[in-house]
């Protein structure tokens, strides 16, 4: 990860338990987050889907880009969203956040794989990128080429790595990253939901660190390739950091449509009161929970030391007694 995710100490304040750091309420739009999906200019159907799933313990934003011909993509994306919703709404307090998200995505995969057994949907599948929020912990999971971006002070960083053929070419050094989006096989996926019963999900785990200024927090942006293939990352960051989430979603979709809108376009923008870091805040919820569950060893050390002193005293007394007895015995037998 680059410098946007390095742990810093200069902007910290004490964590306030009463504050909801994510500012998310029910629905696809809220006082601090918004999501929009658009048909684009050339597609007959919108195969993208986005959703917000809330339970008593967590909140999850999900963006999907379905594929599979007439109705297939729509069905795959909607099945995936619905399956995630059913899984995430159950009580899962005892599980680790990353495990919850991975299992939810695997459940979505299981459902889509089963539906593919119907010949009419045999080619369908969907990408997925999801942001799972649990107290001050944030887990990003993805499969395919839908992306998550971190935006801080106008600077933008792509968090996810595309599961595509051209990305593998970039990693092998056969093409430059700038060539990937215009490559003839740019949209060939190497991984998606529905393609393989044994799905591998990439996850990244972060924690939200409080910021001194609530209006200067990070922004998390999820989107499909219909956006980033036409709107450069730098421009995405500029728009998202200078407008409200709702206005930014509308502006970004308008930009993509003005430049051709060849695909469906979906974007979700979630502002955070604080900054994402790769380790827990020392005063955060995660650190407090770990402290509660950690064994207390201090009293045990003191007790062990006291026992050692008592044993030493007893042994010294026995040694002294043996010496005295020996001395008396020698005098008696002379």
pLDDT of residue 328: 47
3-state secondary structure labels for all residues of the chain: CCHHHCCCCCCCCCCCCCCCCCCCCCCCECCCCEEEEECCCCCCCCCEEEEEEECCCCEEEEEEEEECCCCHHHHHHHHHHHHHHHHHCCCCCCCCHHHHHHHHHHHHHHHHHHHCCCHHHCCCEEEEEEEEEECCEEEEEEECCCEEEEEECCEEEECCCCCEHHHHHHHCCCCCHHHCCCCCCCCCECCCECCCCCCCCEEEEEEEECCCCHHHCCEEEEECHHHHCCCCHHHHHHHHHHCCHHHHHHHHHHHHHHCCCCCCEEEEEEECCCEEECCCCCCCHHHHHHHHHCCCCHHHHHHHHHHHHHHHHHHHHHHHHHHHHHHHHHHHCC
pLDDT of residue 271: 95
Give every CB contact of residue 277 below 8 A, 6+ residues apart in sequence.
5, 6, 7, 8, 206, 207, 208, 209
Which tens digits make up the pLDDT trace of 166-184?
A: 999 999 999 999 899 899 9
pLDDT of residue 91: 63
pLDDT of residue 260: 98
Query: 208: how many CB neighbours lie within 10 A of its CB?
Result: 26
d(CA 139, CA 116): 29
pLDDT of residue 324: 47
β-strands 202-209, 137-143: how paired?
antiparallel
- The token duo for 66 is 């379905």
Which tens digits make up the pLDDT trace of 238-248?
A: 999 999 999 99
User: Which residue, among 37, 48, 50, 52, has the nearest Cα to 73 in the 3D structure?
Assistant: 48
CA 290, distance to chain mean position in Å, is 20
Describe the crossing of helices 72-88 and 97-115 by its angle, rounded to 10 degrees. 140
pLDDT of residue 286: 56
User: Which residue, among 100, 109, 58, 303, has the nearest Cα to 203 in the 3D structure?
Assistant: 100
Residue 110: phi and psi, rounded to 5, are -60, -45
- The token duo for 113 is 């794989």
Cα–Cα distances in angstroms (integers) from residue 230 to residues 43, 189, 280, in the given order: 15, 19, 36
pLDDT of residue 26: 29
pLDDT of residue 211: 81
d(CA 158, CA 154): 13
Give the pLDDT of the chain (334 residues) as one tens digit per residue. 444 443 322 222 222 333 333 333 323 444 489 999 999 999 999 999 999 999 888 999 999 999 987 668 999 999 999 999 999 988 666 788 999 999 999 999 999 999 999 988 999 999 999 999 999 999 999 999 999 999 999 999 999 999 999 999 999 999 999 899 899 999 899 999 999 999 999 999 999 998 876 567 999 999 999 999 999 999 999 999 999 999 999 999 999 999 999 999 999 999 998 999 999 988 866 545 544 443 333 333 344 544 554 555 556 665 555 454 455 444 444 4
pLDDT of residue 221: 98
- Is the separation of the CB atoms in 302 and 288 below 8 Å? no
pLDDT of residue 143: 98
pLDDT of residue 72: 87
Query: 157: how many CB neighbours lie within 10 A of its CB?
Result: 18
- The token duo for 33 is 């987050």
pLDDT of residue 318: 59
């Amino acid at each position: 990860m680059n410098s946007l995710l390095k742990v810093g100490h200069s902007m910290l304040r004490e964590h306030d338990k009463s504050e909801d750091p994510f500012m998310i309420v029910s629905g696809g739009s809220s006082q601090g987050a918004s999501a929009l999906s658009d048909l684009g200019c050339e597609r007959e159907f919108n195969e993208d889907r986005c959703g917000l799933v809330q339970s008593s313990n967590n909140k999850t934003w999900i963006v999907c880009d379905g594929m599979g011909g007439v109705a297939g993509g729509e069905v795959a994306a909607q099945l995936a969203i619905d399956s995630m919703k059913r899984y995430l709404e159950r009580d899962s307090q005892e599980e680790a956040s990353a495990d919850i998200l991975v299992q939810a995505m695997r459940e979505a995969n299981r459902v889509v794989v089963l539906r593919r057994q119907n010949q009419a949907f045999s080619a369908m599948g969907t990408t997925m990128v999801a942001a799972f929020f649990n107290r001050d912990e944030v887990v990003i999971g993805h499969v395919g080429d839908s992306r998550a971006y971190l935006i801080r002070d106008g600077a933008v960083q792509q968090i996810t790595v595309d599961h595509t053929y051209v990305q593998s070419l970039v990693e092998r050094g056969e093409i430059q990253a700038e060539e990937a989006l215009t490559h003839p096989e740019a949209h060939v996926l190497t991984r998606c939901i529905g393609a393989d019963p044994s799905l591998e999900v990439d996850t990244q785990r972060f924690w939200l660190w409080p910021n001194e200024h609530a209006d200067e927090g990070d922004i998390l942006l999820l989107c499909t390739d219909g956006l980033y293939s036409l709107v450069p990352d730098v421009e995405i960051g500029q728009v998202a950091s200078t407008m409200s989430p709702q206005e930014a979603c509308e502006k970004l979709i308008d930009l993509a449509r003005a430049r051709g809108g060849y695909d469906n376009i979906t974007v979700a923008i979630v502002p955070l009161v604080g900054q994402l870091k790769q380790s827990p805040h020392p005063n955060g919820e995660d650190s407090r929970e770990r402290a509660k569950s950690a064994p207390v060893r201090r009293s045990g050390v003191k007790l062990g030391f006291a026992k050692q002193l008592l044993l030493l005293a007893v042994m010294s007394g026995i040694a002294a007694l043996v010496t005295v007895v020996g001395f008396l015995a020698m005098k008696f037998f002379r």
